[in-house]
Amino acid sequence: MRSRDAADVLADLETTSAERSRVERGLLVVARELLAVTGAALLGHKGFSSVEELSTTERRRWRTEAKRLCVAEVRVRLGLGEREARALIGVSCAPADVRDHVLGALGRAEVSWGLVRGFWERCGRLPADRVGLVAESLFGDEPETAAPERLDADGGLGDAPWQHADYWAALEREAVRVEGQDVQAERERRRAAYRARRSWLSVHDDGTATLSVTGPLTTMAGIHARVEHAVRALRKAGDPRTLDQLRSDVPSALLLYGHLPLPHAAPAPGSAARVITDVLGDAGPTEAPTTDVGVGEEALTVADLESIARIVSASPPVNLQVVVPWDAVAGRASMKRPTMGHGAPGAPSDPGARGDPGGPGGHDAAARGCVGQVLGHHPAFISPGHARELAWCRAPP
């Protein structure tokens, strides 16, 4: 038997991946059948022969109970967790247009279940018509309404699978786009999230812990930009630590030691008192720590802090850039835009600006709206209402 070359193996890899997507498509189809059977059994158990006999409230309860029972069965039969089982059942009983787009993309092997699950967890709570807009953009088969990442050089739909980084960015962009249609509801949702901002500590079993902080998007993006600037400057200056290690050490030093004045001489090398005196100055804290760094733990040393302090002190203020379509700031369309092309959000290439009211996609530009983009290492998108608040410097309560 001759050994296969790399081309054969890669072809098998693509074929196997496509088969996986089609099997996952079949799983969604069977999950829908399970829901139908369960719903019929529930109706019979309650003494009804048709859904039409139920009142609106009874129908809502019947649907919820059927989905709950199906989620329980899926967890037992497939060993899935609660969230994944809910997503599987949720997609299987989604509105027809959403379901058809998802099944079509899985059948064409453009996506895997993991990407579909992410779509549902992000958009499943949106109104049905808005979920349909996002599904049409990410999974549909019409180039007029497809996300620009899916188009080839000629403006037609490509047949390659979604690249994951592009997919997650496009998903967030399209979700923010449709959420921005109801300005008041979107603003209230954002303000509720601002009011719930917090920080918390998660302790791990390997001697490490994670500090998490939530806050306004622009604030967090600005913090990340400043840390990233300092990290890359340290590496460029020859710091031996990896970028990831520096991304931990720089914010740790900033939060632990405040403004980080450059160290001077002090007590015994290596002690906690030495670190505090060197970093904070002779005044130091009101009370010195009662414990030294534990044996085997790698604390930030004075040498580490010297280099971080030098870079952070020299870092310029954060200059966060947000690209916003003029229509979003003005609150109205400023001009009639062309119908095809590629470019920044809200420009002529914006998916929300392509297509016509009677086009194959069935959704016009007004239904899609526009978004603003926060530039940086991590793509982030804001709604028109959010953009207008930033433009007028109106902070949420």
**Which 3-state string (H, E, C) describes the chain?**
CCCCCHHHHHHHHHHHHHHHHHHHHHHHHHHHHHHHHHHHHHHHHCCCCCHHHCCHHHHHHHHHHHHHHHHHHHHHHHCCCHHHHHHHHHHHCCCHHHHHHHHHHHHCCCCCHHHHHHHHHHHCCCCHHHHHHHHHHHHCCCCCCCCHHHECCCCCECCCCCCHHHHHHHHHHHHHHHHCCCHHHHHHHHHHHHHCCCEEEEECCCCCEEEEECCCHHHHHHHHHHHHHHHHHHHHCCCCCCHHHHHHHHHHHHHHHCCCCCCCCCCCCCCHHHHHHHHHCCCCCCCCCCCCCCCCCCCCCHHHHHHHHHHHHHCCCCCCCEECCHHHHHCCCCCCCCCCCCCCCCCCCCHHHCCCCCCCCCCCHHHHCCCEEECCCCCEEECHHHHHHHHCCCCCC
Top mean pLDDT of 23-37, 244-258, 301-315, 351-365 is at 23-37
Query: Quick one: average pLDDT of 119-136?
Result: 92
pLDDT at 223 over 50: yes
Mean pLDDT for 132-155 is 90
Which pLDDT does position 350 carry in this prediction?
43
What is the model's pTM? 0.59
The pLDDT tens digits for 44-100 are 888 888 888 888 899 999 999 999 999 999 999 999 999 999 999 999 999 999 999
Confidence class for position 363, pLDDT limits 50, 70, 90: very low
pLDDT attached to residue 161: 93
Place of tokens 């099997």: 23
Whether the per-residue pLDDT at 236 is higher than 70: the answer is yes
Counting residues of the chain whose pLDDT is more than 90, the rounded percentage is: 38
Query: Is pLDDT above 80 for 379?
Result: no
Per-residue confidence (pLDDT) for residue 265, from 0 to 100: 43
Query: Is pLDDT larger for residue 146 or for residue 390?
Result: 146
pLDDT of residue 302: 53
**CA-closest candidate to residue 176, choices 344, 369, 395:** 369
Q: Is pLDDT at 356 greater than 50 in this prediction?
A: no
Checking if the pLDDT of 191 tops 50, the result is yes
| Highest mean pLDDT pick, 334-338, 339-343, 352-356 | 334-338
Residue predicted with more confidence, 98 or 313: 98
Identify the weakest region by mean pLDDT among 225-229, 235-239, 347-351: 347-351
Residue-level pLDDT at 187? 77
- What average pLDDT does range 205-229 have in this prediction? 87
Closest CA to 110 of 155, 153, 144, 149: 149
The whole-chain average pLDDT of the chain stands at: 77
pLDDT for position 312: 64
Q: What residue type is assigned to position 259 of the chain?
A: H
Burial class (CB in 10 A: 0-12, 13-18, 19+), 97: middle
Which range among 128-142, 188-202, 368-382 shows the weakest confidence by mean pLDDT?
368-382
Q: What is the mean pLDDT of residues 231-252?
A: 92
Using 50, 70 and 90 to split pLDDT, how confident is the model at 22? very high
Q: What share of the chain has pLDDT > 70, as a percent?
A: 68
pLDDT of residue 268: 46
List the Cα angle 228/207/223 in 5-degree steps: 20
pLDDT of amino acid 102: 96
pLDDT grade for 277, boundaries at 50, 70 and 90: very low
pLDDT at 368 over 50: yes
**pLDDT attached to residue 310:** 66
At 358, the pLDDT band (50, 70, 90 cuts) reads very low
Mean pLDDT computed over 343-361: 40
pLDDT at 106: 96
pLDDT of residue 283: 39
| Cβ-contact 107, 99 below 8 angstroms | no
